[in-house]
């Protein structure tokens, strides 16, 4: 029978057990996201991103769930000469990256030990509609730009990221759910665009999306941030048939239109956080 929407914390073992009973697959997107938060509270990040991930994996195992898709991050790989590759030796620079790396390891362990077709998708920097509550750099800068406020660039702005539209990420998740179990079990896939964008270039692109240049202030570089980050997505393309198809300017234009509509709605605008600098 179809499951109803269940609103509950992953710390609620009973709710988790009831939610996974009788399902075919689990897509685990919940996390304490963001490098600065993990630097400020590494133990809290561990509890949410590692302990709760393990409990969800085990709840799925006990319920007989065959497939588990874990949303990881390039922060797990850490500082490498780009592009990031699944074979890179992990070198996380932040507690957030370390927590995501641990989640990847548990997916591999549950595939090998218990036969769960668990895999990890290392998301690049996600952006898109329905992210008004987020403090990612695109969400924070769009809120600020639409509100006529300045945005903050940490460091010189020449650091790079791989910005991937949420619609493309959803396609990658569906591909991981649809692929044969032996293709995904215990596997890691980089999921991004394969295109490197500087933070300064992002500022220009967001300015185009909102129709006016951003008012930019500068601040020191932050602890835990990598200098360059872009994904090699060949493995996901070959095994899952995944390729990102939404260009950055198009995705930002769609996202900006959604943000403008959401911020005009008082009920939605009340959900936004206050930070305008963003977490890359």
Give me the active site residues, please. 96
- DSSP secondary structure string, 22-38? T-SEEEE------HHHH
106 to each of 41, 95, 109, 229, 232, how far by Cα in Å? 22, 17, 5, 24, 23
57 Cα distance to chain centroid: 19
Rounded CA-CA distance 30/120 in Å is 13
* CA angle in degrees (0–180, nearest 5) for 255-234-174: 55
Which is nearest to 84 in space by CA: 100, 68, 69, 95? Answer: 100
* CA angle in degrees (0–180, nearest 5) for 182-184-186: 95
C-alpha radius of gyration, the chain, whole number: 19
Beta-carbon contacts of 207 under 8 Å, excluding residues fewer than 6 positions away, are 145, 213, 214
64 Cα distance to chain centroid: 27
């Amino acid at each position: 029978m179809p499951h109803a929407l269940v609103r509950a914390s992953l710390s609620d073992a009973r709710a988790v057990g009831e939610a996974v009973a009788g399902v075919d697959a689990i897509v685990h997107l919940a996390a304490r996201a963001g490098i600065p938060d993990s630097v400020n509270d590494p133990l809290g990040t561990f509890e949410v991103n590692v302990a709760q991930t393990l409990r969800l994996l085990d709840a799925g195992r006990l319920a007989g769930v065959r497939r588990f898709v874990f949303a990881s991050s390039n922060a797990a790989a850490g500082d490498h000469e780009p592009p990031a590759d699944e074979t890179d030796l992990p070198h996380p620079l932040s507690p957030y990256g370390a927590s995501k790396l641990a989640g990847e390891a548990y997916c591999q362990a549950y595939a090998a030990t218990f036969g769960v077709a668990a895999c990890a998708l290392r998301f690049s920097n996600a952006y898109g509609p329905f992210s008004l509550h987020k403090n990612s750099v695109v969400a924070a800068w769009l809120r600020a730009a639409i509100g006529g406020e300045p945005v903050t660039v940490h460091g010189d702005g020449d650091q790079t990221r791989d910005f991937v539209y949420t619609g493309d990420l959803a396609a990658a998740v569906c591909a991981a759910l649809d692929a044969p179990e032996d293709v995904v079990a215990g596997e890691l896939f980089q999921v991004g665009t394969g295109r490197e964008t500087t933070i300064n270039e992002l500022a220009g692109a967001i300015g185009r999306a909102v129709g006016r240049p951003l008012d930019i202030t500068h601040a020191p570089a932050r602890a835990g941030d990598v200098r360059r980050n872009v994904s090699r997505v060949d493995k996901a393309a070959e095994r899952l048939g995944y390729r990102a198809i939404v260009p950055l300017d198009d995705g930002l234009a769609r996202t900006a239109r959604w943000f403008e509509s959401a911020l005009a709605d008082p009920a939605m605008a009340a959900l936004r956080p206050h930070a305008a600098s963003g977490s890359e």
